[in-house]
Amino acid sequence: MTDLKRKALDYHRLPRPGKIEVALTKPCETQEDLSLAYTPGVAQPVLEIEKDPLAAYEYTNKGNLVGVISNGSAILGLGNRGALASKPVMEGKAMLFKRFANVDAFDIEIDAPTVEAMVETVARMAPTFGGINLEDIKAPECFEVERQLQEKLDIPVFHDDQHGTAIIAAAGLLNALEIQSKTLEESRIVCVGAGAAGIAILQLLLALGARKENIALVDSKGVVHSGRDDLNPYKAEFALDTSLRTLEDALKNADVFIGVSQKDLLKPEWLKTMAPKPIVFAMANPDPEIRPEVALAARDDVIMATGRSDYPNQVNNVLGFPFIFRGALDARASEINMTMKIAAVKALSELARQPVPQVVLDAYGLESLEFGPDYIIPKPTDPRLLDVVPKAVYDAAVASGVARI
Ligand SMILES: NC(=O)C1=CN([C@@H]2O[C@H](COP(=O)(O)OP(=O)(O)OC[C@H]3O[C@@H](n4cnc5c(N)ncnc54)[C@H](OP(=O)(O)O)[C@@H]3O)[C@@H](O)[C@H]2O)C=CC1
Ligand SMILES: CC(=O)C(=O)O
Ligand SMILES: [Mg+2]
């Protein structure tokens, strides 16, 4: 067993299984406490909430509670391993919600393999929550699950693998492009992985100014092109009229590689054919499309990021969902819309340009860190994230008319 594997299993098992527990927020010791917390006192907030549903935000934990919900159909890059096997990841997301933004979260793993079962189950449990964070649901079903739930519910429904990932990738990419003296409008982008993360990243990059004709999307069958008859509507939106067929073809002279697919798909010899000063976001988890040491051995002008915590430039949705939901919950937003997402992108990319506090250097065992090829995006432990990202999202919710506070 490798050291990491043993340590990871011990971390999850000891001293007690799992990573989170429930804590009380009110005294519950005396007869009077019990009379207030439970019967007869608890009947009072029940009656208030029946009269006015928004009173649930005053008298219960709804306004600070997110459901982290998965059916386990696309767990990280490990594929469909079922609802139960997704529990460590969902507990982990709940832990990060609490640790980084003091948002309470329940992990909920549901045996719901179809869109219909997923939508029905989540919709029925929605009254509990101030927001729903969908996680690790395979494409294309995830798009329809999210769309239907957004239509049915008046709380934010946010598929983290789509939008959380897209926001962080966009923030990191804007900074990396600036360092490489390139622009989003002019850059040729290759995205490998046409699932939840890939489609959402490209949609957000288009909203930020990327040009569709400069984007090559690649799935497990190769380049997504207009001659293919096996494309779902989400992929078809990015179908190019092109003679490019393989990832290797698409990479020649490309400025940006975005990987949200599977490990080791980017060969170092293909990386060498990319344009000068390329940017490689190899975001597959737990193992990236190319390892940073392999990429940097192939060429030294590359800016390299992965989704992992153990390399520089962690482009991972952990930087997004806790802080985005914090802002959305504080605004009692009914949704997380494009204005709020772009506000989060801008806040994250701007924060990376500021001097890094000592507490972050200590957490990463570093002497110094400054905006540049090895630091394009803030570290998740940066306490300033909680100041700037929720505020940006909150203000955008108010400005776009979806706040209810
Ligand atoms: N760093 C981060 O923050 C995040 C990273 N990820 C990572 O991104 C990856 C994808 O996640 P997600 O979008 O949720 O998963 P999905 O299941 O929705 O999509 C996976 C995509 O990868 C494609 N793919 C699989 N194998 C290959 C291959 N050999 N060549 C080219 N494409 C391939 C699939 O192709 P096809 O459509 O043909 O089946 C599909 O389009 C995972 O590794 C995940 O860990 C995801 C979210 C956040
Ligand atoms: C980070 C994440 O959400 C994923 O890899 O699926
Ligand atoms: Mg995920």
- Tell me the domain boundaries of the chain: 17-155, 317-399
Tell me the pLDDT of the chain averaged across its residues: 97
pLDDT of residue 294: 98
**Ligand 1 centre and the CA of 210: distance in Å?**
21
Name the closest-CA residue to atom 15, ligand 1: 195
CATH of 17-155 given 3.40.1160.10, 3.40.50.300, 3.20.20.70, 3.40.50.10380? 3.40.50.10380
Q: What is the mean pLDDT of residues 105-124?
A: 98
Quick one: which atom of ligand 2 is closest to the CA of 307? 1
pLDDT of residue 1: 78
Q: Residue 208 pLDDT > 90, yes or no?
A: yes
Tokens of 127: 């009254």
Q: Is the distance from the beta carbon of residue 146 to the nearest atom of ligand 2 less than 6 Å?
A: no
Q: How confident is the model at residue 304 (pLDDT cuts 50, 70, 90)?
A: very high
Cis peptide before 286 (omega within 30 of 0): yes
Q: Is the distance from the beta carbon of residue 165 to the nearest atom of ligand 1 less than 6 Å?
A: yes
Task: For residue 405, count other CB atoms closer than 10 A to its CB.
Answer: 12
**Cβ atoms 258, 234 nearer than 8 A:** no
Q: What is the mean pLDDT of residues 171-186?
A: 98
Quick one: which atom of ligand 1 is closest to the CA of 259? 8
List, as ranges, residues with CB under 5 A of the ion ligand 3. Answer: 136, 161
Most informative mutation of 136, 158, 159, 306 for ligand 2 (most atoms within 8 A of CB): 136
Q: How confident is the model at residue 283 (pLDDT cuts 50, 70, 90)?
A: very high
Q: Residue 317 pLDDT > 90, yes or no?
A: yes
Q: What is the mean pLDDT of residues 349-369?
A: 97
**Cβ atoms 202, 191 nearer than 8 A:** yes
Edge to edge, the sheet with strand 131-134 lists: 104-109, 65-70, 131-134, 157-159
**Cβ atoms 94, 106 nearer than 8 A:** yes
Q: How far apart are CA 116 and CA 120, in angstroms?
A: 6
Q: Is 123 helix (H, G, I), strand (E, B) or coil?
A: helix
Name the closest-CA residue to atom 17, ligand 1: 138
Q: What is the mean pLDDT of residues 121-135?
A: 98
Q: Amino acid identity of 24?
A: L
Quick one: which atom of ligand 2 is closest to the CA of 317? 1
Greatest CA separation for the chain = 77
Q: Residue 71 pLDDT > 90, yes or no?
A: yes
Name the closest-CA residue to atom 3, ligand 2: 161
How high is the ipTM of this complex? 0.99
